[in-house]
Amino acid sequence: MDTPGAPLRRLLEWISSQDKGVRQRSGFSMSTLGVCMAKQLFAIAGYPLTNKRQPRMLLVWRLGLLIEKEVIALLRMSGDVVVAGQKEFDAADPPREGHIDGLILRDGKLYLFDVKSINKDGFIRWIQCAGESPWRAMREGWYAFDPRTIVQKDYRPVKEVNPSYYWQAQGYMQAALSREEYRTYLLHDLSEVEEALKDVAVDEKVEIALDGFYLFVYNKNDSTLYEEFVPYDADAIAERLALAQQGYEQIHGKRRSKKLTAAIREFREIEPEEKKKALVLKWQCRRCDFMQTCWADRPEIQGVKGVEPNGESKDSSSGEADG
């Protein structure tokens, strides 16, 4: 008979064994465009992970997928028209790919959307940043913030609280604007689509609106829901993509080497902070897959081993191979 706790230990070991690490891509992932640029470049360049992922984090990601399905199911059941789940998008300069959670019909147009699950602290910060009352949101169980009513330069909610969600939304809108085939939704089989889509279709196509992007947010602590419309900002995403392109040019076609590691460190976007007279890494870095590689040049930081992990390619014997 299993000893107490054995089944859960087995479960956690199984979860850990399912972790295949960072998915190797030839370009950027749309969903992480806003994540620290150095982290993205380490991943694209194929650097090995230096931090073991906690089974707890793997469980958090799995829960996020379940919540996404639940929110989409609830939207549909309550009368929203949601189509094109997991639709693939790709774009160039720099190369990037990803899939949207779906398209939702609002005001006769389809909008891109994504579902986010977040804990209570992050949720409260987000709503406060939107200038709204988190207590009202929690009391009423639902709150929507629509920045279409404010001047774009004043817009700050998700951009300030979760920049990576902001850049993800901007990245998808920019990709859609750059490709004709992403700007309309084709009704392949009118008999299978909702009446509402038939009503707004022109030549069996429904326009995809790209003035903004919807985020549906689920508070994991108490199931409060929140909705935010993120306005498109062409200048901001152009600037972000220019930085990504600059990073991509630094690593493209190069083997892992000390020189490449140093070049990628130039793209770090998160600095350590001083706490109780010690230099410590912020949570994003402590959880980062490449933490030791990234900060090996700064051994004075707490938790950094100060030894360059061997992230070089097997065939880069000189350690400086950039061919």
Residue choice 22, 30, 33, 38 for contact with ligand SF4 (CB under 6 A): 38
Residue 299 beta carbon to ligand SF4: minimum distance, rounded to whole angstroms: 14
Nearest-Å Rg of the Cα atoms of the chain is 22
Distance separating alpha carbons of residues 131 and 73, to the nearest angstrom: 29
State how far Cα 96 lies from the chain centre.
13
Residue choice 285, 296, 301, 304 for contact with ligand SF4 (CB under 6 A): 285
Residue choice 183, 254, 258, 268 for contact with ligand SF4 (CB under 6 A): 268
Distance separating alpha carbons of residues 230 and 211, to the nearest angstrom: 9
Residue choice 290, 296, 312, 316 for contact with ligand SF4 (CB under 6 A): 290
Our CB check for ligand SF4 shows the closer of 231 and 272 to be 272
Residue 52 beta carbon to ligand SF4: minimum distance, rounded to whole angstroms: 15
Work out whether the CA dihedral 118, 65, 35, 100 comes out positive or negative: negative
- Nearest Cα residue to 177 out of 205, 123, 203, 213: 213
Residue 282 beta carbon to ligand SF4: minimum distance, rounded to whole angstroms: 7
Contact 37, 247 (CB under 8 A): yes
Residue 240 has phi, psi (to 5 degrees) of -65, -40
Distance separating alpha carbons of residues 296 and 116, to the nearest angstrom: 33
Residue choice 133, 184, 250, 284 for contact with ligand SF4 (CB under 6 A): 284
Stretch that binds ligand SF4, among 34-42, 95-103, 134-142, 153-161 (CB under 6 A): 34-42
Our CB check for ligand SF4 shows the closer of 83 and 280 to be 280
82 sits near ligand SF4 (criterion: CB under 6 A): no
Question: Binding residues for ligand SF4, per CB under 6 A?
Answer: 36, 38-39, 42, 268, 270, 284-285, 288, 290-291, 294
